[in-house]
Amino acid sequence: MSKLLVTGGAGFIGSNFVRYVLDNTEHSVTVLDKLTYAANVASLDGLDAQRFSLVKGDVKDAQIVDQLVSEHDAVIHYAAESHNDNSLEDPRPFIETNVVGTYTLLEAVRRFGVRYHHISTDEVYGDLTLDGVERFTEATPYNPSSPYSSTKAASDMLVRAWARSFGISATISNCSNNYGPYQHVEKFIPRQITNILSGVRPKLYGAGENVRDWIHASDHSAAVLQILEHGRIGETYLIGADGQKSNREVIGFILKILGRDKDDFDLVADRPGHDLRYAIDYSKLRTELGWTPRFSDFESGLTRTIQWYESNAWWWSPQKEATETRYASQNTQIRESKTSS
Ligand code: NAD
Ligand code: DAU
C-alpha cells in the first residue's frame, strides 16, 4: 500500500484516475490541484475520506510541493493547462503550469527521492497524414504544433533530463485523446453532447476530417497504474486503444445515439495549425506490461458517456454558459449549416 500524490486530480483524467485507484487498489491518494476553471471538485464527491484528501495549491508553489512530495511514496503528475484552443488565445498559463510547474515537481522528487510518473500526450509528436497508415511509436521524433503541445513536449524533455542527469526514478506516458465522464464541456465530445442537450447545433472545425485516436479515460487510468507499478524506470510508454475516428464520424455517432438527423451540425472556422491525424502504436505497453484496453467498442463507450452527461446536467451546466461565451469570442463563426433548422 502506497501514498500517492496526484496533481490535477480535480480535472477530467486526474479525477478518473483517483476513482480508479481507490476502487482497484489499497493505495491512498492526496490530490494537489489549483482548482482552475477546468477543475470541478464535484468530480471527487463521495470518496472515502480515510484514503483520500484534496489540497488546493499550485504546482509552481515550491513550498507546498516540497511539503507534499516529502510525505508521499509516488507523484503522478496530471496537472496542466490542457486545451489547445485556449493556448492559441493566451499561451502564458501553459508555459507557467506545464513547464515551470513540472520543473518545480522534478526538483522536489529529486530532493526527496520520490518515484515520479509524468502524464503526457501524443500531441508532442505533431501529426500524421490523413490518408496514411503510420502510427506514433516511442521512437517518433518530437514535432509539436501548438503552444499547448510544445509546453507538454518541453515538460517531457525536462523529465528526461532530470532522469539522466540527476537519476530521478521517472517514467513517462504519452496518451491519445480521452473520453468519458467528468470531461470539461470545452472539449470536443462533451461540447457536442451538451450542445445537443441544450438545443444548440454541434460545431465541427474545418471540414471535420481531422482524425483523433480515442481511448476511454478508465483505460488510460489502468495503463498508468500498470506503468507506475511495473514500468521500467527511465522508460516512455505510449497509451492508445485503436480508436481512430474522424471528427465527422464522432459527430455522426453522437447524433445517432441522441436520435438526431445525421446532418444536424454546423461547420465552423478551422483551428489554426490544426493537427490532421493522431494514431498510437501501443505495442510496447502490450508486450512489456501485458496491458490491453477494455473499452474496445467506441460506440458503446460513447453511449455510456452520453448517458452520463444526460444524467448529470447538474455537474456540467454551471460551466456551459461561460465556455460558450469564451468560444463565441474566438474565431468560430458558422461557415456552413448542414441542415436548415
Ligand atoms: P483538465 O484541464 O481537465 O484538468 C487539469 C487539472 O489541472 C485541473 O483540475 C486544474 O485545476 C489543474 N491545474 C491546472 N493548473 C494547475 C496548477 N498550476 N497547479 C495545480 N493544478 C493545476 O485536463 P485533462 O484533460 O484531465 O488532462 C490531464 C493531463 O493529461 C494533462 O497533463 C494533459 O496534458 C494530459 N493528457 C490529456 C489528454 C486528453 O485527452 N484530455 C490526453 C493525453 C494526455
Ligand atoms: O491527443 C491528446 C490531446 O487530446 C490532449 O493532449 C489534450 O489535452 C486534449 O485536449 C486533446 O486535444 P485535441 O485538441 O485533440 O482535443 P479537442 O477536444 O480540443 O478537439 C478534438 C478534435 O475535435 C480536434 O480535431 C478539434 C475538433 N473540434 C474541437 C472542438 C472543441 C471540433 O471540431 N469542434 C469543437 O467544438
What is the per-residue pLDDT across 48-99, written as a single tens digit (0 to 9) for each?
A: 999 999 999 999 999 999 999 999 999 999 999 999 999 999 999 999 999 9
What percentage of the chain has pLDDT greater than the value 70?
Answer: 97
Q: Which three cell numbers stand for residue 240?
A: 492508445
**Helix or strand or coil: residue 192?**
helix
Residue range 306-329: mean pLDDT, rounded = 96
The pair phi, psi for residue 175, each rounded to 5°, is: -110, 160
The pair phi, psi for residue 204, each rounded to 5°, is: -105, 130
Contacts of 81 (CB under 8 A, 6+ apart): 36, 38, 87, 93, 94, 97, 98, 148, 151
Q: Which three cell numbers stand for residue 302?
A: 460513447
Res 84: pLDDT = 98
Q: Which three cell numbers stand for residue 97?
A: 503550469
CA distance 66 to 105: 8
State pLDDT tens for residues 278-307.
Answer: 999 999 999 999 999 999 999 999 999 999
Q: Look at ligand 2, atom 23, and give the residue with the nearest C-alpha.
A: 188
CA distance 38 to 87: 14
Ligand 1 contacts CB of residue 10 (under 6 A):
yes
Res 105: pLDDT = 99
Res 334: pLDDT = 58
Res 31: pLDDT = 99
Give the residues across from 142 on adjacent strands. Answer: none
User: With bands split at pLDDT 50, 70 and 90, how would you rate the model's confidence at 332?
Assistant: low
State pLDDT tens for residues 129-156.
Answer: 999 999 999 999 999 999 999 999 999 9
CA distance 259 to 302: 14
Res 341: pLDDT = 38
State pLDDT tens for residues 105-126.
Answer: 999 999 999 999 999 999 999 9
Q: What is the mean pLDDT of the chain?
A: 96
* Residue whose C-alpha cell is 489549483: 34
The pair phi, psi for residue 233, each rounded to 5°, is: -60, 135
Pairing of strands 266-268, 28-33: unpaired
CA of 38 to the centre of ligand 1 (A): 8
Give the domain ranges of the chain: 3-184+214-239
For the annotated catalytic residues, the residue numbers are: 122-123, 148
Q: What is the pTM of this model?
A: 0.97
Res 327: pLDDT = 95
CB-based contact 78:13 (threshold 8 Å)? yes
Contacts of 147 (CB under 8 A, 6+ apart): 87, 88, 91, 94, 95
Please report, to the nearest 10 degrees, the dihedral formed by the alpha carbons of residues 96, 102, 105, 110 taken in order.
-130
CA distance 107 to 116: 11
Ligand 1 closest atom vs CA 40 = 9
Ligand 2 closest atom vs CA 332 = 36
What percentage of the chain has pLDDT greater than the value 90?
Answer: 96
Ligand at minimal distance from the CA of 265 is 2
Res 330: pLDDT = 81
* Nearest CA-CA partner of 137 in 229, 206, 235, 28: 235
Give the rounded distance of the alpha carbon of 244 from its chain centre.
Answer: 16
User: Which homologous superfamily is 3-184+214-239 in?
Assistant: NAD(P)-binding Rossmann-like Domain (3.40.50.720)
Res 262: pLDDT = 96
Ligand 2 contacts CB of residue 155 (under 6 A):
no
- What does DSSP assign to residue 38? T
Q: Look at ligand 1, atom 41, and give the residue with the nearest C-alpha.
A: 178
Residue range 297-320: mean pLDDT, rounded = 97
Res 340: pLDDT = 38
State pLDDT tens for residues 226-269.
Answer: 999 999 999 999 999 999 999 999 999 999 999 999 999 999 99
